Amino acid sequence: MGLGRHLLLVGIFGGLLVAGEATPVLAPILRDGSALVEEASRISRSPWLSEPTFAQVPTLVGVSRNVPGALRQAVAFALDCWWAPEADDGIRLTRASTLPLGSLKVQVLPSQVGNPRAEPLVRDLLVPWLSGLAGLAHHPSDGSWAVNLDSAGRQQLITILTLLERPRVEIPALVPAADQTDLTLPLGEPPVGDTWPVLAQDLLRRTGQGLAIRDPDHLPPPRLTSRPATLGELPRAFHGVQAAWIHGVLCIRAIDPSGELPDDAAHPGTLRRFACLPIAHLLAEAPDLTAEALADAVRRRTGPARWTRPGYALVAVESGRMLLAAGDIPLLHAVLDALGRIDGAGYPTWLAEAPLR
């Protein structure tokens, strides 16, 4: 096909399209990363910024209409990076652990957190907001924090300190994204093609959904191991790759050593939420189990690679009576599910049955 070793093939379609029914707003032609970013900016009518390393990456992109969530997901996933909001409704494509920051402000924030060991945890939780001159220092003698943060960083710090001072059982609701694909839609005939570019064009035509294939030259030849009847069955039908629907985009990549599927390409700092979950009753039923050991076991069985993302953590608080989970909402609910299984089956049984990831 002559598309180069790092070909990225991305297509975004807002509904079922038949040849001749619609003209894409972005024709599917070969572009490098810098041209892709320019086209994304043109389509969304907002500035998109990227890192120099993305500039020469070849891409083949097709967009039928401006669908912001799908466009952000597809471009960031294809470039193997995160997207983050910039000022003036812009988008930054980045692999950095930190978010774009606003104006910094020096101030002292009072708190009741006097534990000197709290600062490393708070600093880890604030990583996405600690770039450049941003920083903080804890004074355990009176619990105060001297900070130089932007408004978002200060709000995050206040939330963290409140959770450490007065932890209470809470977890955000797990609500499907408004732009998620309807997985019950019938697929009709399965896509065909002996190369990823050919199969991708056919898949776009048949599904009318977004598509992002990362580095297809390094994937095994496309092959379906079953005949999927619905869009929801399609990702599992592909052989030798990982695929998942995210924000209306079918994201396909090589199998990750962690075993985790593709997921949201938004920066972890924008996805991060908190949950406080009780564990005292679980520890009481397993006298030799510590809160730290329980947290470690849950981390290793709910996606260890995701727990390494900036601002994510799973730690014991409230003298070991609760777990503080900081992560994206699906990950928080994976922790809740694990604790529920431990409560039902007992820790030793859960430990033996729950696979390491």
The position carrying tokens 């397993």 is 286
pLDDT band for 22, please (50, 70, 90 cuts).
very low
**Structural domain of residue 289, as residue ranges?**
272-357
pLDDT score recorded for residue 63? 57
Q: Give percent above pLDDT 90 in the chain.
A: 61
Task: Please indicate, yes or no, if residue 149 is contained in any of the structural domains.
Answer: no
- Estimate the crossing angle of helix 33-44 against helix 68-78, to 10 degrees: 170
Residues 245, 283, single domain; the answer is no
Residues 203 and 62 placed together within one structural domain of the fold: yes
**CA atoms within 13 Å, Cβ hemisphere of 83:** 25
Specify whether 74 is located in the same domain as 218: yes
Q: Which of 160, 161, 139, 157 is nearest to 148 (CA)?
A: 157
Are 84 and 201 members of one domain?
yes
CA distance 286 to 170: 24
pLDDT at residue 26, as a whole number: 56
CB 266 within 8 A of CB 72: yes
Residue 321: exposure state from Cβ atoms within 10 A (0-12, 13-18, ≥19): middle
218 and 319 within one domain: no
The DSSP annotation for 65-87 comes to: S--HHHHHHHHHHHTTSEEEE-G
Predicted pLDDT of residue 249: 87
**Shared domain check, 276 and 240:** no
Q: Do residues 135 and 148 touch, judged by C-beta distance below 8 A?
A: yes
DSSP 94: E
Does residue 170 fall inside a structural domain?
Answer: no
**60 forms bridges with which residues in the sheet?**
9, 30
What is the C-alpha R_g of the chain?
23
Establish if 111 belongs to a structural domain.
no
The distance between the two most distant Cα atoms of the chain, rounded to a whole number of Å, is: 72
Which CATH number covers residue 63? 3.55.50.30
Q: How far is CA 183 from CA 42, 71, 176, 315, 349, in A?
A: 30, 19, 12, 35, 34
pLDDT at res. 59: 67
Please enumerate in sequence order all residues whose Cβ is within 8 A of that of 303, keeping only pairs 6 or more positions apart, or say none. Answer: 258, 260, 331, 334, 357
With respect to residue 109, please indicate whether it lies within any of the assigned structural domains.
no
Residues 232 and 300 in one domain: no
Q: Are residues 82 and 194 in the same domain?
A: yes
Tally the domains of the chain.
2
Q: What is the pTM of this model?
A: 0.89
Residue range 100-115, pLDDT digits in tens:
999 999 999 999 998 8
For residue 262, is it within any domain? no
Model pLDDT, residue 30: 56
Chain mean pLDDT for the chain: 87
Asked which of 24-38, 161-175, 208-222 is least confident by mean pLDDT, the reply is 24-38
Beta-bridge mates of residue 250 = 211, 245
pLDDT in tens, 133-184: 999 999 999 999 999 999 999 999 999 999 999 999 999 999 988 888 899 9
Same domain, 213 and 357: no
Q: Which residue, of 253, 282, 299, is where some domain finishes? A: 253
Backbone angles phi, psi at 290, to 5 degrees: -100, 160
Mean pLDDT, residues 254-274 taken together: 93
Point out the domain boundary residue: 253, 280, 300: 253
The half-sphere exposure of 325 on its side-chain side, counting CA atoms within 13 A, is 30
Query: Cβ distance 245 to 185 under 8 Å?
Result: no
Does 317 lie in the same domain as 197? no
Q: What is the DSSP letter of 190?
A: P
Instruction: Please report whether residue 132 resides in a domain.
Output: no
283 and 247 share a domain? no
Compute the average pLDDT of residues 225-246: 95
What's the residue count for the chain?
A: 357
Whether 313 has a pLDDT exceeding 80, the answer reads yes
Residues 276 and 339 in one domain: yes
CA within 13 Å, CB half, 339: 24
Measuring CA to CA, which residue among 312, 295, 218 is closest to residue 256? 218
What DSSP letter does each residue of 291-310 carry, written as one string? HHHHHHHHHHHS-HHHHTST
**271, 228 Cβ separation under 8 angstroms:** no
Q: Which of 253, 280, 312 is the last residue of a domain?
A: 253
**φ/ψ (deg, to 5) at 83:** -110, 145
pLDDT digits (tens, 9 = 90+) for 60-75: 656 555 678 888 998 8
Long-range contacts: 162-166, Cβ < 8 Å, 24+?
163/274, 163/276, 163/317, 163/324, 164/111, 164/113, 164/118, 164/122, 164/317, 164/324, 165/111, 165/112, 165/113
Would you say residue 69 lies in a domain? yes
Q: How confident is the model at residue 35 (pLDDT cuts 50, 70, 90)?
A: confident
